[in-house]
Amino acid sequence: MHYTIFDTPIIKPFLRMVARTTMKVIGWRAVDRSEGQKKYILIAVPHTSNWDFPMFLLITLAMDLKTYWLGKHTLFRWPFRGVFRWLGGISVDRTKSTNMVQQCIDHFDSTSNLIIVNAPEGTRSRVNKWKTGFYHIATGAKVPIAMGFLDYKKREGGIIGMFQTTGEIDSDMESIKEFYANISGKHTQQFVK
């Protein structure tokens, strides 16, 4: 995996301090129920606003997590490509079959510490069905799924729990969605639970 903000020696501790201070000032709290896991898929739910990315980045910095995130390839155009990669971004071109699921599985298999963030809704707009790539990555790599969340009503975010897939995708997806029954996104009308 490539060099990121989380690998930058002097900047990382400074940004962690800034993130923690900022969260305190704006009245947000980080929740970490990752159970000490070192390798997992971290799903970011709900994803209803442009504010979700900076808030989630702020929370991951405050929690001292080294994360990589999957984002659509159009975000990685000049002049922002380098910045988004430095922030942990991995470009995904949805117009081509790049076998991103297998690439992520291979990365998990080759390392002892890896967190990949994915937004199953795939967009900030209202969707009726989540994308399932995160599920297939977790199942293939035999890693748990961390239930990442932003609750704008309670003003907290982080990891609400862990889930190990069983291979029964329909029942597992229902169980995963139950974690979000009481979570309020920024634009609640756009989040289908």
Domain tally for the chain? 1
CA distances from 132 to 23, 151, 170, 180 (A): 31, 22, 10, 16
190 within some domain? no
- Tens digit of each residue's pLDDT (9 = 90 or more) over 100-144: 888 889 989 998 999 999 988 755 455 578 889 999 999 999 999
| Assigned domain for 132 exists | yes
Q: What does the pLDDT look like over 157-190, one tens digit per residue?
A: 999 999 999 999 999 999 999 999 888 877 665 5
Across-strand partners of 39? 114
148: domain range? Answer: 5-183
* pLDDT tens digit sequence for 44-102: 988 778 889 899 999 999 999 999 988 778 888 889 899 988 888 888 776 767 688 88
Q: Rounded to whole angstroms, how far apart are CA atoms 160 and 123?
A: 21
Question: Does residue 65 belong to any structural domain of this protein?
Answer: yes
What is the per-residue pLDDT for 124? 47
% of the chain at pLDDT higher than 70: 90
Angstrom distance (rounded) from CA 14 to CA 180:
32
Averaged pLDDT, 144-150: 96
User: Tokens representing 36?
Assistant: 């000490």
Q: Indicate if the pLDDT at residue 193 is higher than 60.
A: no
Whether 15 maps to a domain, the answer reads yes
pLDDT at 12 over 60: yes
Residue 103 lies in a domain: yes
- Specify the pLDDT at position 15: 93
**Has residue 193 been placed in a domain?**
no
Report the pLDDT value the prediction gives residue 49, as an integer from 0 to 100.
Answer: 83
191, part of any domain? no
Local confidence band at 191 (pLDDT 50, 70, 90 cut-offs): low
Quick check: is 188 in a domain?
A: no
